[in-house]
Amino acid sequence: MERLRKEGAREKALCEGPSSLSAVEALALLLGTGSVREDVFALSRRLLFRFVSAGNLLSQSYPSLRRAKIGAVQAFRILAAGRLSEVSASSAELLLRTEEDLSRFPALDPFPKTEVLEACFLTSEGRFLYRTLYSSGSIERVLLPLSLVQREALKAGAAKVVLGHTHPSGSLSPSPEDERTLALARKKLSYSRIEVPFGFVRTRDGVKAFLPR
């Protein structure tokens, strides 16, 4: 029965969005399992009764959660969710409109030894949705999979895509090939009404935006 209810909650979230879940359903999916004494939904109801609100539950310490008679793994899941909530609340909305905005997007760690392609998908207002790494290759040449970028943008409902890649050589200057590739991307994605406002080059020490000449 517990498994069927969890599957029902997952299906509800998938079809109607996470906002359709009740606090009990959302917490049950976060906890994953109950115990031999109570199923995960009973456990969720008990925790929400004990701590009154989801926000207060997420702010509890490990000892406090363990005193509520839940397992260590479940307690750490709640602690991790609380930490993510704190980070989210303290972070401004991510926008990617200018070179200065790029500084808020950290590079891969460790920094790759070969060139890696990066596509940032944005709304029409420049709000950041997510980014994807597509491929890596030799320092001399990397082929940009524009068709993959185009399909991903359409799937995400992105109106803009900012394209960049790493320069392991340390040079922040875009090469003629960089500029040609960006111009080609602008042309190809424009057929799907997707804008490519600028490209960027990233090194270990910085990032620089550029436009095709």
pLDDT along the chain (213 residues), means of 10: 65 85 92 90 93 92 95 96 85 85 86 86 94 64 74 94 92 90 92 96 94 82
Q: Among candidates 101, 102, 120, 125, which has minimal Cα distance to 203?
A: 102
Supply the pLDDT for residue 8.
72
- Supply the pLDDT for residue 138: 44
Euclidean distance between CA atoms 131 and 119, whole angstroms: 5
User: Domain spans of the chain?
Assistant: 2-90, 99-210
Of 132, 202, 203, give the one whose Cα is nearest residue 161: 132
Q: What pLDDT shows up at residue 15?
A: 86
CATH of span 99-210: 3.40.140.10
